[in-house]
Amino acid sequence: MTEQIDKALAREYEAGFVSDIESETFEPGLNENIIQRISAMKGEPEWMLEWRLSAFREWLAMEEPEWALVDYAKIDFQSISYYSAPKSMKDKPKSLDEVDPELLRTYEKLGIPLIEQQMLAGIAVDAVFDSVSVVTTFREKLEEAGVIFCPISEAVHKYPDLVKKYIGSVVPKKDNYYAALNCAVFTDGSFVYIPKGTRCPMELSTYFRINEQNTGQFERTLIIADEGSHVSYLEGCTAPQRDENQLHAAVVELVALDNAEIKYSTVQNWYPGDENGKGGIYNFVTKRGICHTNAKISWTQVETGSSVTWKYPSCILKGDNSVGEFYSVALTRGRQQADTGTKMIHIGKNTKSTIISKGISAGRSNNSYRGLVRMNPGAEGARNFTQCDSLLIGDQCGAHTFPYVESRNPSAIIEHEATTSKVSDEQMFLCRQRGLDPEKAVSMIVNGFCKEVFKELPMEFAVEAGKLLEISLEGSVG
């Protein structure tokens, strides 16, 4: 059966094509001059450049972390290009008609049509291609509701007060090695502001695409949900199939003010490398949200891509009665390595957090859950429930769980459950005896295993995520 599964997993990466787009790309290298040039390309105000440079100086003094259960060749930060943008984007197209059709075709091929008439109704998209945002749809409609949804490079100009106030407020510049690097060289990403008492009228989503070779993608997303507001946001990511590893080091900051709610979903499908571990994206991401009184942040992630994943979407439950949730499916196959999980920091009274993590390992991959639950002394009556389930496909893969618990308040309650199971021969036989081919059988069993997480995704994306798993598992059986 292992053999069947390996075969099924040796699928093609469907998003692996390269778009033929003329780009303006910086020569590889990282120094203050490069940072000044990035800032100049974006026409940034002085304070932004200063912020970048101070982060860069912090970064120079930091060490690459080695505690995660991932093994990869050291990254040569001087061999990466830190800026690449389609030439056609230079004079900032005003409308879709002015956008390079080849760019639109790229997104269409990925199933993300940017022409509003063809789009899924109710979803606004910000499309980020290498280092720039190509287009943001449905902006007028959102503006009517007072919602700001634009590239962060634009927000720096248009809403400097909001950006200045909140950027780096959740993930400080020197939070960690990759976050500091991101602060220095971030190129684009999305900015969202939901005004007081507003329910965002549509789903917001950002679609990240790496195209250019040897470039890193360093996007930065900042979402601010003002008091009593509500927003659901989704990010998707893909990259061409290349033999070299590419670095993706993003920072996402969420701010949920009193009584606000942010739902952040990710379907991550960066190129995972080939079955021997050649190529693929290094995905080193810092995602964190802060919840004020009665606020709620819910992270849902479906991680199927990248050769190395290092990612811990977290919640700081600062306000009393605030709620943090983390729902995760991480699938690794081939030689993929994932070290992912969450941190729930309970500060306020009666704060609640829920962690549901589903790790699926196949091939010769390694899949680790790493999670921290901290109850601060003031977290009276705080509660956490954690459930970590691992599913093994075949017998050459690994699943690991590293739960860290720090409780400094005796009234806090922490529950942890963990299971490890296998796709069994009996289950496979039952499915095949009913006429299902082995691929379908595996994907169905895996989908069933992930059900609790998928039900947290917005409807359209739950279907997409299910399909993605199916494609990812193709050839894992034979």
Closest separation in Å from C-beta 266 to another protein: 21
Question: Rounded to the nearest whole angstrom, what is the least distance from the CB of residue 47 to another protein in the complex?
Answer: 50
Q: Does 55 bind another protein (CB under 8 A)?
A: no
CB atoms within 10 A of CB 291: 31
SS3 call for 309: strand
Decide whether 1 or 30 has the Cβ nearer to another protein.
1
Any contact of residue 438 with another protein (CB under 8 A)?
yes
Is 49 an interacting residue with respect to another protein (CB under 8 A)?
A: no
Which residue lies nearer to another protein by CB, 213 or 396? 396
Q: Are strands 383-392 and 123-129 parallel, antiparallel or unpaired?
A: unpaired
Q: Which of 146, 447, 460, 470 binds another protein (CB under 8 A)?
A: 447
3-state class (DSSP) for residue 240:
coil
We find the least distance from the C-beta atom of residue 7 to another protein, in angstroms, to be 13
Separation between Cα atoms, residue 280 and residue 277, nearest integer Å? 8
CB of 447 to another protein, least distance (A): 7
Element (H, E) at 108: helix 101-109
Residue at token pair 């291609």? 129
Cβ proximity to another protein, 230 vs 440, nearer residue? 440
Nearer to another protein, 181 or 423 (CB): 423
**What strands lie across the sheet with 383-392, from one edge to the other?**
132-136, 123-129, 203-209, 230-238, 261-268, 296-303, 323-332, 352-361, 383-392, 413-422
* Residue 204, helix vs strand vs coil: strand
d(CA 434, CA 238): 35
Q: From 13-21, 268-276, 306-314, 442-450, give the range in contact with another protein by CB under 8 A.
A: 442-450
| CA 123 to chain CA centroid, nearest Å | 18
Q: Is 448 in the site for another protein (CB under 8 A)?
A: yes
Of 165 and 451, the one with the shorter C-beta distance to another protein is 451
Q: What is the DSSP string of 432-463?
A: HHTT--HHHHHHHHHHHHHHHHHTTS-HHHHH
Residue 105 structure tokens = 């075709």
- Closest contact distance (angstroms) between CB of 432 and another protein is 4
Q: Residue 355 interacts with another protein (CB under 8 A)?
A: no
Give the interface segment with another protein, choosing from 70-78, 129-137, 249-257, 429-437 (CB under 8 A): 429-437
Contact status: 395 vs another protein (CB under 8 A)? no
Contacts of residue 309, defined as CB under 8 A and 6 or more positions apart, other chains included, come to 70, 268, 283, 285, 303, 330, 336, 337, 338, 339, 340
Tokens 């290498």 sit on residue: 130
E strand residue ranges, 40-169: 84-86, 123-129, 132-136, 148-151
Tell me the residue type at 163.
V
Indicate whether 459 belongs to the interface with another protein (CB under 8 A).
Answer: no
Q: Residue 334 or residue 466: which is nearer to another protein going by CB? A: 466
Decide: is 429 part of the binding site for another protein (CB under 8 A). yes
Tell me the number of residues near another protein by CB under 8 A: 25
* Residue with smaller CB distance to another protein, 8 or 290: 8
Q: Could you tell me the smallest distance in angstroms from the CB atom of residue 150 to another protein?
A: 39
**Beta strand residue intervals within 269-336, DSSP E:** 280-291, 296-303, 308-311, 314-317, 323-332
Taking the least distance from each CB to another protein, the nearer of 104 and 468 is: 468
The structure tokens listed for 289 are: 């949200």
Q: Which one among 444, 460, 470, 471 touches another protein, defined by CB under 8 A?
A: 444
Closest CB to another protein among 102 and 452?
Answer: 452
With CB under 8 A as the contact rule, the residue among 22, 50, 102, 452 that binds another protein is 452
Q: CB of residue 451 vs another protein: minimum separation in angstroms?
A: 4
Q: How far is the CB of 4 from another protein (least distance, A)?
A: 9
Q: How far apart are CA 334 and CA 323, in angstroms?
A: 36
**431 belongs to the binding site for another protein (CB under 8 A):** yes
1 touching another protein, by CB under 8 A: yes
Name the amino acid, one letter, at 451.
K
**How many whole angstroms from its chain centre is CA 371?**
17
**Residue 434 binding another protein, by CB under 8 A:** yes
Only one of the segments 63-71, 90-98, 138-146, 431-439 lies at the binding site for another protein (rule: CB under 8 A); that segment is 431-439
- Told to check if 85 binds another protein by CB under 8 A, we report no
Binding site for another protein (CB under 8 A): 1, 424-438, 440, 444-445, 447-452
